[in-house]
Amino acid sequence: MADITVTVNGATRTASAEVRKTLADFLRDDLDLTGTHVGCEHGVCGACTVILDGRPVRSCLMLAVQAAGHQVTTVEGLAPEGTLGPLQQALQDSHGFQCGFCTPGFLMQATALLDAHPEAGEQEVREALSGNLCRCSGYQSIIDGVLLAAERAKG
b/e 90-108 (16+ beta carbons within 10 angstroms → b): bbeebebbeeebbbbbbbb
User: Residues 6 or more apart from 25 whose CB is under 8 A from it?
Assistant: 38, 64
Q: Is 3 helix (H, G, I), strand (E, B) or coil?
A: strand
Where on the chain is the footprint of another protein (CB under 8 A)? 18, 20-21, 28-29, 32-42, 44-45, 47, 74-76, 78-79, 81, 84, 88, 91-93, 95, 97-104, 107, 125-127, 129-143
| Shortest Å distance, C-beta 3 to another protein | 18
Dihedral angle, C-alpha 95, 40, 48, 104, nearest 10 °: 10
Residue 69 vs 121, nearer CB to another protein: 121
| Shortest Å distance, C-beta 90 to another protein | 10
Whether residue 6 contacts residue 68, with contact meaning beta carbons closer than 8 Å, is answered with: yes
| Shortest Å distance, C-beta 58 to another protein | 12
Residue 47 vs 67, nearer CB to another protein: 47
| Shortest Å distance, C-beta 23 to another protein | 14
